Amino acid sequence: MAVRHQLVRRSPEAVWAVLKDPSRFGQWVVGPSESRPCDGAWPAVGSRLEYTLSIGPWTFRGETVSRRFEEPRYLELEAKAGPLGTARIAFDIRPWGDHTLIVLDEHPLRGLGGAVHQSALDALIQLRHRRMLPRLAKLVESVREPDRAGAAHGRGTGDGG
Protein backbone atom coordinates (compact mmCIF):
# COMPACT_ATOMS: atom_id res chain seq x y z
CA MET A 1 0.00 0.00 0.00
CA ALA A 2 1.28 3.45 -0.90
CA VAL A 3 0.03 6.13 1.48
CA ARG A 4 1.10 9.77 1.26
CA HIS A 5 -0.17 13.06 2.57
CA GLN A 6 -0.08 16.69 1.44
CA LEU A 7 -0.97 19.91 3.23
CA VAL A 8 -2.90 22.31 0.99
CA ARG A 9 -3.07 25.93 2.07
CA ARG A 10 -6.72 26.26 1.16
CA SER A 11 -10.04 25.07 2.58
CA PRO A 12 -11.50 21.61 1.93
CA GLU A 13 -14.08 23.36 -0.29
CA ALA A 14 -11.26 24.63 -2.52
CA VAL A 15 -9.81 21.11 -2.76
CA TRP A 16 -13.23 19.73 -3.68
CA ALA A 17 -13.72 22.41 -6.33
CA VAL A 18 -10.69 21.00 -8.16
CA LEU A 19 -11.41 17.30 -7.50
CA LYS A 20 -14.96 17.71 -8.83
CA ASP A 21 -13.88 19.44 -12.05
CA PRO A 22 -13.21 16.77 -14.71
CA SER A 23 -11.55 19.34 -16.98
CA ARG A 24 -8.76 19.75 -14.39
CA PHE A 25 -8.04 16.01 -14.00
CA GLY A 26 -5.07 16.06 -16.40
CA GLN A 27 -3.59 19.10 -14.66
CA TRP A 28 -2.82 17.28 -11.42
CA VAL A 29 -2.90 13.52 -12.13
CA VAL A 30 0.46 12.14 -13.24
CA GLY A 31 0.25 9.89 -16.29
CA PRO A 32 -3.10 10.42 -18.00
CA SER A 33 -3.56 12.78 -20.90
CA GLU A 34 -6.55 13.69 -23.04
CA SER A 35 -9.00 13.05 -20.18
CA ARG A 36 -12.71 13.46 -20.81
CA PRO A 37 -15.88 12.65 -18.87
CA CYS A 38 -17.91 9.85 -20.45
CA ASP A 39 -20.61 8.68 -18.02
CA GLY A 40 -22.47 10.45 -15.25
CA ALA A 41 -21.86 13.70 -13.41
CA TRP A 42 -18.29 13.56 -12.11
CA PRO A 43 -17.55 12.49 -9.35
CA ALA A 44 -20.94 10.89 -8.56
CA VAL A 45 -20.63 7.18 -7.79
CA GLY A 46 -20.42 5.28 -11.08
CA SER A 47 -19.36 8.28 -13.18
CA ARG A 48 -16.33 7.75 -15.41
CA LEU A 49 -13.48 9.64 -17.00
CA GLU A 50 -11.61 8.22 -19.99
CA TYR A 51 -8.02 9.10 -20.84
CA THR A 52 -4.87 8.07 -22.61
CA LEU A 53 -2.08 6.74 -20.43
CA SER A 54 1.49 6.88 -21.73
CA ILE A 55 4.25 4.87 -20.09
CA GLY A 56 7.51 5.27 -21.98
CA PRO A 57 6.88 4.22 -25.59
CA TRP A 58 3.59 2.48 -24.74
CA THR A 59 0.16 4.06 -24.82
CA PHE A 60 -2.96 2.58 -23.21
CA ARG A 61 -6.56 3.64 -23.03
CA GLY A 62 -7.66 3.99 -19.44
CA GLU A 63 -10.63 5.01 -17.40
CA THR A 64 -11.28 6.05 -13.85
CA VAL A 65 -14.57 5.19 -12.16
CA SER A 66 -15.83 6.95 -9.04
CA ARG A 67 -16.55 4.24 -6.46
CA ARG A 68 -17.19 6.36 -3.34
CA PHE A 69 -18.08 10.04 -3.17
CA GLU A 70 -18.81 11.52 0.23
CA GLU A 71 -18.13 15.22 0.14
CA PRO A 72 -16.63 16.82 2.17
CA ARG A 73 -14.50 13.87 3.28
CA TYR A 74 -13.90 11.00 0.84
CA LEU A 75 -13.35 10.30 -2.83
CA GLU A 76 -12.42 6.77 -3.89
CA LEU A 77 -11.63 5.94 -7.47
CA GLU A 78 -10.86 2.79 -9.41
CA ALA A 79 -8.34 3.47 -12.16
CA LYS A 80 -8.38 0.97 -15.00
CA ALA A 81 -5.26 0.85 -17.14
CA GLY A 82 -5.89 -1.96 -19.62
CA PRO A 83 -3.38 -4.80 -19.30
CA LEU A 84 -1.79 -3.18 -16.25
CA GLY A 85 -4.95 -3.86 -14.27
CA THR A 86 -6.84 -1.66 -11.83
CA ALA A 87 -5.95 0.32 -8.74
CA ARG A 88 -7.93 1.77 -5.84
CA ILE A 89 -7.12 5.44 -5.24
CA ALA A 90 -8.62 6.90 -2.07
CA PHE A 91 -8.56 10.55 -1.06
CA ASP A 92 -9.27 11.41 2.57
CA ILE A 93 -9.86 15.17 2.76
CA ARG A 94 -9.32 16.49 6.30
CA PRO A 95 -9.76 20.04 7.58
CA TRP A 96 -6.45 21.15 9.13
CA GLY A 97 -6.98 24.50 10.79
CA ASP A 98 -7.59 26.93 7.92
CA HIS A 99 -6.02 24.45 5.51
CA THR A 100 -6.61 20.91 4.28
CA LEU A 101 -4.68 17.69 4.77
CA ILE A 102 -5.07 15.22 1.91
CA VAL A 103 -4.24 11.60 2.70
CA LEU A 104 -3.87 9.55 -0.46
CA ASP A 105 -3.94 5.74 -0.33
CA GLU A 106 -3.40 3.76 -3.53
CA HIS A 107 -2.97 0.08 -4.14
CA PRO A 108 -3.42 -2.34 -7.04
CA LEU A 109 -6.64 -4.36 -7.15
CA ARG A 110 -6.66 -6.57 -10.25
CA GLY A 111 -4.61 -7.56 -13.24
CA LEU A 112 -0.84 -7.42 -13.54
CA GLY A 113 -0.47 -4.77 -10.83
CA GLY A 114 -2.46 -6.84 -8.34
CA ALA A 115 -0.63 -10.04 -9.25
CA VAL A 116 2.87 -8.59 -8.78
CA HIS A 117 2.05 -6.18 -5.96
CA GLN A 118 5.10 -5.84 -3.77
CA SER A 119 7.29 -3.20 -2.17
CA ALA A 120 8.99 -2.28 -5.46
CA LEU A 121 5.63 -1.43 -7.01
CA ASP A 122 4.72 0.59 -3.90
CA ALA A 123 7.95 2.54 -4.34
CA LEU A 124 6.95 3.43 -7.92
CA ILE A 125 3.51 4.51 -6.74
CA GLN A 126 5.15 6.66 -4.05
CA LEU A 127 7.27 8.37 -6.72
CA ARG A 128 4.11 9.12 -8.69
CA HIS A 129 2.42 10.53 -5.57
CA ARG A 130 5.45 12.73 -4.84
CA ARG A 131 4.72 14.46 -8.14
CA MET A 132 0.92 14.27 -8.12
CA LEU A 133 0.08 15.62 -4.66
CA PRO A 134 2.22 18.79 -4.96
CA ARG A 135 0.67 19.37 -8.41
CA LEU A 136 -2.79 19.08 -6.87
CA ALA A 137 -1.84 21.43 -4.01
CA LYS A 138 -0.37 23.99 -6.40
CA LEU A 139 -3.45 23.88 -8.60
CA VAL A 140 -5.84 24.25 -5.66
CA GLU A 141 -3.78 27.10 -4.21
CA SER A 142 -3.80 28.91 -7.57
CA VAL A 143 -7.60 28.86 -7.85
CA ARG A 144 -9.72 31.48 -6.15
CA GLU A 145 -11.12 30.23 -2.85
CA PRO A 146 -14.84 29.33 -3.17
CA ASP A 147 -17.39 31.10 -1.02
CA ARG A 148 -17.45 28.99 2.16
CA ALA A 149 -20.99 30.02 3.09
CA GLY A 150 -22.30 28.98 -0.34
CA ALA A 151 -20.22 25.81 -0.38
CA ALA A 152 -21.83 24.61 2.85
CA HIS A 153 -25.17 24.41 1.02
CA GLY A 154 -23.79 22.43 -1.95
CA ARG A 155 -22.37 19.38 -0.21
CA GLY A 156 -22.66 16.07 -2.04
CA THR A 157 -24.54 13.16 -0.62
CA GLY A 158 -22.56 10.41 -2.28
CA ASP A 159 -25.36 9.67 -4.73
CA GLY A 160 -24.66 12.58 -7.05
CA GLY A 161 -27.38 14.76 -5.50
Q: Which domains does the chain have, with CATH numbers?
A: 2-28+68-143 (3.30.530.20)
- Quote the CA–CA distance of 136 and 29 in Å, as a whole number: 8
pLDDT of residue 62: 84
**Tens digit of each residue's pLDDT (9 = 90 or more) over 30-76:** 776 677 788 889 999 999 999 887 777 877 788 999 999 999 999 99
Average pLDDT over residues 5-15: 96
Per-residue pLDDT, 36: 79
* Weakest-pLDDT range from 8-17, 21-30, 116-125: 116-125
Cα–Cα distances (Å) from 46 to 5, 37, 42, 74, 106, in that order, read 26, 12, 9, 15, 19
Residue 78 has pLDDT above 60, yes or no: yes
* Buried/exposed code over 61-94 (b: 16+ C-beta within 10 A; e: otherwise): ebbbbbebbebbbebbbbbbbeebbbbbbbbebe
Band (pLDDT 50/70/90 cuts) for residue 160 is very low
User: Can you tell me the distance from the alpha carbon of 40 to that of 43, in angstroms, rounded to the nearest whole number?
Assistant: 8
38-42, 87-91, 120-124: segment of lowest average pLDDT: 120-124
Residue spans of alpha helices (H) in the chain: 12-19, 25-28, 111-115, 119-142, 148-151
Segment among 11-25, 94-108, 114-128 with least mean pLDDT: 114-128
pLDDT in the model for residue 30: 74
Using CA atoms, how far apart are residues 147 and 19, in angstroms rounded to an integer?
A: 16
